[in-house]
Every structure is written in C-alpha cells, then in structure tokens.
Amino acid sequence: MKLVVQRVTSAAVSVDGVEISRISKGLLVLFGAEKEDRDEFADFLAEKTVGLRIFNDADGKMNLSCKDVGGEILAVSQFTLAGDCAKGRRPGFDRAASPEVAIKLYQRFMDAIAAAGTIVRQGRFGAHMAVSIENDGPVTFILEKR
C-alpha cells in the first residue's frame, strides 16, 4: 500500500465538472492498493497519516499532526501508485490490487481515519477525477506499508 500525503491549505475533487469533495486546511492523500495488501496495512497507514507531525507549531517547527490542528483529510484513490516504470516506457500495473480488493481497503482506510476523530472526505473510486490542491509548503511525503 502506498500513499502520497500532501499538506494543503485547500483541496477539492471534481468528477465530470462537478465538485464532489472539498477540504480546507489538512491533508490530501492519494491512496494506492497493491495485491499483497491487507486490512492491517490500511489501519496502520490511517493511524500514521492522522498522527503524522507535519504541521508547524508556534515556533515554526513541524511538530503538530492534522488532528492537532483540526485539519481534514481528502482521500483519493490512485491505482497508478502501484505502477511499475522500471522497464520500458509504459507502466505496468501487475502489482495493483483488483478493484474489488482496492475499494475495500480504501474504505477501510477512510473508516479508520474517521474512527480516529478526523474528518475525512473522499474522491469517487474508479472515476476520472480532477484534483485541485493548494499545497502548503510544499510539504509532500510518501508512506508505504508492505
């Protein structure tokens, strides 16, 4: 399982020109599930994401979590994170979880975030989405669990 976590001042997702989700201060999380991923991975990464101390404290140091600052999380499914670009020029997606497995892991990830007391919004699984963000920093991290 692979996540791209971006600290944002705002983020939104649109499908077919219609905005379906929006957050203000918080995290945009691109979520990619792979074949070997399990429920525990989603739980672990949700806890890690909510507690990741990447927001500035009063001294300007990254010392506060999304939860600490009252931020929200926008989670967007992104199967291309499982893409392999090591050979040739066309990515391979053999490592990507099937849509049936990936949607369950994606939902579990979001449920775990909500259970931790953080507001979580979502994109639309499997849809072609337009994601707009105002990256704060920019601050971007990659989290993985294998």
Tell me if residue 18 falls in helix, strand or coil.
Answer: strand
Are 28 and 11 a contacting pair, CB within 8 Å? yes
DSSP per-residue codes, 74-86: EEEE-GGGG-B-S
Among this protein's residues, is 118 annotated catalytic? no
The residue annotated as part of the active site, out of 41, 55, 79, 109, is 79
Torsion 137-15-96-115 (CA) sign: positive
Among 49, 78, 118, 122, the one annotated catalytic? 78
Q: Is the peptide bond before 138 cis (omega within 30 degrees of 0)?
A: yes
- The answer to whether the beta carbons of residues 60 and 108 sit under 8 Å apart is no
Catalytic residue flag (residue 79): yes
Tokens standing for residue 49: 């994401």
Any idea which residues carry the catalytic annotation?
78-80
